[in-house]
Structure 1
Amino acid sequence: MSASGGTRAIVAALLANLGIAVTKFIAFALTASSSMLAEAIHSVADSGNQALLLLGGKRARREATPQHPFGYGRERYIYAFIVSIVLFSVGGLFALYEAYHKYEEWHSHPDESGITSWHWVPVVVLVVAIILESFSFRTAIQESNHVRGKATWVQFVRRARAPELPVVLLEDLGALVGLIFALFGVVLTLITGSGLWDALGTAAIGLLLVSIAVILAIETKSLLLGEGATSEDVTKIEDAIMAGPEVERIIHMKTLHLGPEELLVAAKIAVRQHETGEEIAQHINDTEARIREAVPIARVIYLEPDIYQVPAPAAS
């Protein structure tokens, strides 16, 4: 993923959510709809999340230091994980709490739990919010398509080493579906005069946000623990190593993402037995150049030359 593409998607989502949050709070103040309040808090949480992603991208660009010799690329993973926590707590759990509160209100005073004033406001706000969120979602889809290749959307979310686009995609998808849930609850509340539908719409929003937050937490936790190169990149690296006549075989190799756009490659390679140290050093330099040409994000490469010995047959 290009950093600029991810940044465009984040900024588009941030601007959309800030505008939507303001209108939702106004609608809640006029109607006291719990669905509107849950959606307003959801938009605030999303806005904060996008600000966190931008902050993580900025901090990840810091230069390496003696204390952090491989740089700060993983800061992007850390802030993406924080986003999942914010979405779970501020978005999902708050919506579930508000749904329970609205249900209790309906259970105690069923005749007074509906929307009693400014009936048209929440519907107009939700329709406008759906339109704005659709533009943000379209931007995230367009930027993702530049790097998704032939992968399905599920594969893209699960395999992406850069967290920003999958996070924005899932957030925008959750926002659109949540708005539909809110519109469903508000419209049925206006038709029936019962606040039960408002509570159900709010509960659906909460369950949706909790589910998305759990998915994000699982995926970003895997990135934080350290993921290797994709199978496609591993194949390219192996082909690059074996492309020269100086390497007889790869004895073993490991890769690790130091950040979304920085890959560490460590391999033990078999060289000819009678080569001089100068020849081996030149061969290693040539091999590193081929690896970087095949996979540009392979910025940290350690190649250990060795003499391959055929394993002795196991005793019968």
Structure 2
Amino acid sequence: MKKITLALPILLSLFLLSACAAPTNEEKAETERPDWIDHAQNKYSGQVYLTAVGDASNRTRASKNAIANLAEIFSVNVKAETKTLTEAVKEESVLGVTMESSSTLHRNIETESEQAIQGVEIKESWLSPTGEYYALAVLHRISAAQNLTESIIDLDEQTAELIDYSINVAPNSIVAVNALRTARDIQITRKMADLQLNYISGSGIPVDILSQKVEQLIRQQLASLKVSVEADIESQQSSLEAGLSHLGVTVVDASPLRISAKMDMIKPAYIDAWHWLRGSYVLTITENDQVISRKRWPVKVSSKQKELLTPRLQDKLNSRMNEYLQQLISDSPTL
């Protein structure tokens, strides 16, 4: 099933076309504060509707704020769970949640919230005697539940397609791992959408592909890799080998799949009684001498003693080696 997702700004503009009409007679005549501002559920039952009020100095902005506040209901109810889940994945998954993966995850969850509130309406508005505008955004729970159900079905289909691609189509092992990592992240998004669905309807949708299965496939794919390592410094060779072993990757003396490390540093600088060493650390994956992916990270160390710069640089690289390798192997390949 293919869903149509509108970005929140576009969504807001569509809703506000009707909200920007001339003030109603109620707005011109009423001086008493309407009950719906503080007790919307008296008119729009909380069992049937989700509601949110917005206020501003003009009617358009008040309507926009009301819709934004309604969207926030969805995000607030999953923010804590999202943080807990991603932290758990970082601890329990061999690939954790990389920077790219985390950014995609949050963007996907925001998209699901936007998808859920399609169908929201500005049902009430009021202009106070002091010139403050109020607007009430109303969303039928059934409409939101239908939108989320479609999203969850679509996310499950995406997961199945990525797993099939990883196993049967991916052109190389790194792309295969990346597809599985993406499937894992989609399942996190799916869990968040299911939490939203459970919040508004009282029940979710049973999951077809358990995240544990995806994690198992990731581990199996990593365990199948046989990689040789090449570094311009001996200590880096050992650090790379240890990091790959931590991921479950087998390191061998010679293999068509090779990871090479290079430090690209500029001449040390002496500034305000401190010695500084800056540059970048580069990891490259090649298969049969063809570059699959290359990633670069900025590095910087300082010391009062110049001779300590190199050991401190090595310590810093060692401390982040697992993170670097996770990104190199599981993030989208870059050259």
| TM-score, normalized by the shorter chain, greater than 0.5 | no
Q: TM-score with structure 2 length normalisation?
A: 0.29
Q: TM-score with structure 1 length normalisation?
A: 0.30
Q: Which has the higher strand share?
A: 2
